Each structure stands twice: as structure tokens, then as C-alpha cells.
Amino acid sequence: MTRCCLFWVVVLGVAGAWALAGAPSEAEVQGLYEGTCKDAQGEAKVEARCVAMGKNTYKLLIRNGIGVTSTARLEMDGSLAGDAVGFAAKVGDAIWEAKYAAGAIRGQFGNGGTLELKRVQRVSPTLGAKPPEGAIVLLDGKSFDQIVRANGSPWYVGDKTKEGQVVWEMAVRAVAKEPKVWPTKENPLPEGWELLPERRRVDEVLIIGEDGSIQVPRGGFNSKPQMDGSFKYHVEFCNPLQPEARGQGRGNSGCYLPNGEEIQVLDSFGMPTYTGGGCGGFYNYKDPDCMAELEYLKGQKENKFTLASLPPGEWQTYDIEYRVTKKDGKLVGKPRVTVLHNGIKIHDNFEPRADAKRGGFHWQDHGNPVRYRNIWVLPLADKAGEL
């Protein structure tokens, strides 16, 4: 019987990249701001989320107070005109106007009112948390012994000179009952073999960042260790800035727990989506406990965002405590899960829908360049407790 033998040869090619420049850029303008709002009635501390909406347009969401206890004040529309980004809104009879310059937004409103905002960077209190004694380190940027790619592909990481290069495959073929010689690394196209014209783009080289981070690879990745008990879990992630994307197309990934439940990863900085679809949500059915409404989307089904999210491009953390119950050494019932997002408790001893079961962790690929680093899990005794 004649057999057709088909091999695929992996090669690397440079992938092109395009960058758009602006003055100022969307990356400079977007972000979290804090400052004061002053008028005849007095001075108040305020915070503002400047959300990049694409094509150099913005939403400036100003709130009274600082943090998750803040309350909505007003929303301003912004855009780039020439070399300056300006913001405007009308609240009652008062006209609000402001401009961005060098990391600050300054403006005026009504009869002598002033707005002074400065861009700030909030840092999660657990960012860079070191794994405690007894913890299993899943990702530290040095070893890949505890994680595998979900699609079974090898890790193309480590060589920074190949950043962004594409992994290509081409086929070679021989028609014979049994080839006399098989392709090898030293002789990839021996006598009797032919190179086929088909070529496939199958992967991309993902480097390890200076901080030990990796971009989630095609197909995502899984933990090798399997958990069947309680644990404390720490993960750090960074959403990309994708101003023109909306909803689930904006920095999408996810952290799956051993029982198959997903804690969503998404750029939810001032951006709405459906219930459970935003960052920190139990996917598709429960929002974090710190949601805020958007006035410009009032009356629409998707009009809330989480106050726990930081701007895209900044590192964020999940700290998760997962408690299970065992009877006669076997898992019974549902786990209880407490989640802190950037140090803010967004789920408190919550009982998810899925039963507890033995399983591993999964980090989802959704086609967006989300990065992960410093992932570890600490097994805990199977008893009730708080994070």
C-alpha cells in the first residue's frame, strides 16, 4: 500500500506592526484623575475617569469623593482639536469646559467655578505580592514547569530578539510505501520528498517581559497542578488599551477556577457591558459589588461599570479565597468564593452556581493581548474563613 507522508516545518517570520501617533496620544490622556471642584458653595474632592473612546474622543466621568464610596457628579465629552484635547458638558444652565495639558485637566463652569484634576496612578495593595511559604508558583517568568498551553503547542518565549515574529508551517510530502529517508533537522528535504506550496500562520512569538509577564498565548494556558481543596489564589493582569473596541472586544480574557467558573478579565475602566461580563464578574450572571451607572446610557440595558477597575495599561490584581466542604474526604456542595480586585472586595463569601470539583486553573485567550504575571496558589485547610 502506498502512503502519503505529510510533515509540517516550522519557520519564523517578522510580523508588521503599526502605531498611530498623536499630540497628545490617547494613552497619555486616558486614565484616572483626582483633584478638586470649587464654586461659591465650597470646595469638594473629586475623582475622574477619562475613558478613551477611539479616534481621539473621550468620556470624562467625574465623581464626588474618592474610591468606591464616590458618587456620580457629571459626565463630559472630550475630543482632540488641533493639538489640544477639550471637554464640554451642560448641567442645568451651567456650561462646563476643560482642557487637557501635561497630565492635568483644568476647566471652569457656571459663575466662577473651577475644576482642577491631575492624572494619578493607583496601585493595588497586593501588587507584587510574594508567594508565601507552601504556595505553588504557577507563573513567575522564569519557569514554565507548572503551566501548559491549552492547545498543546510549545511555548515560544524567551528570546526578545524574536518579539512579534510569526510561527509559520509549510508541508513536505513523500509518496512511497515507506520512505527510505525521513526529514530531520539536519536534512529537512531529503531525496524523494517535495515541498508543498501551502503555508499556515499558526502562532506568534510571545516574549517574557522584564517584569516576568507573558501575553496570554493562542488558546490560553492551563495549570498542571489540580486542586481538590480550599486555597488562596493571587494573579496579576494587564489589559491593553483598545480605544475603539467595545464590550467583550476590549481587553478580554478570563481566570477560570477549578469548578469551571470564570472570573472575567476585561477593560471595564468606565466601560459598560452585560451582567457578569465586566471585569471581576462571575461570567454572565453576577456583577462585582461596586457597580456605578452611566448617565449617558440611562435607560439602556448595559449602563453600568465597576469602580474597582484600573485604566488599561496598568497592572491589576485578583486575590481569591476559595473554600470547599468535604465529607468523608469527598467534595460536597458548592464552594464559597471571596474576591478582591485591586484590594477592593467585589464578592464576599459568594456561592457560585457550579459545584466544587477537582480541577485546575485556566487563563482564557479571547484574541486580545492581555498579559499575566506573578500567579501563585496557596492550599488552605478545608474550613470556613475570611480573606
How do residues 34-58 score in pLDDT, each as one tens digit? 999 999 889 999 999 999 999 999 9
Question: Residue 113: what pLDDT?
Answer: 95
Q: What is the pLDDT of residues 221-270, one digit of tens each?
A: 999 999 999 999 999 999 999 999 998 999 999 999 999 999 999 999 99
For residue 309, pLDDT beyond 60 = yes
| Residue 369 burial (C-beta neighbours within 10 Å; 0-12, 13-18, 19+) | middle
Q: Residue 321 forms beta bridges with which residues? A: 232, 338
H/E run at residue 295: none
Q: What is the pLDDT of residues 62-111, one digit of tens each?
A: 999 999 999 999 999 999 998 899 999 999 999 999 999 999 999 999 99
CA-nearest of 336, 341, 357 to 287 is 341
For residue 160, pLDDT beyond 70 = no
Long-range contacts of 249-253 (CB under 8 A, 24+ apart): 249/368, 250/312, 250/368, 251/312, 251/368, 251/370, 252/364, 252/366, 252/367, 252/368, 252/370, 253/216, 253/220, 253/363, 253/364, 253/365, 253/366, 253/368, 253/370
| N- to C-terminal Cα separation, the chain | 65
Domains of the chain, residue spans: 1-120+165-204, 136-154+209-380
Cis peptide, bond prior to residue 272, ω within 30 of zero = no
All three cell numbers of 320 = 481569591
Rounded CA-CA distance 227/362 in Å is 12
Largest CA distance in the chain: 94
The overall pTM is greater than 0.75 = yes
Domain 136-154+209-380 sits in CATH at 2.60.120.560
CA-nearest of 382, 379, 375, 381 to 130 is 375
Question: Residue 101: what pLDDT?
Answer: 94
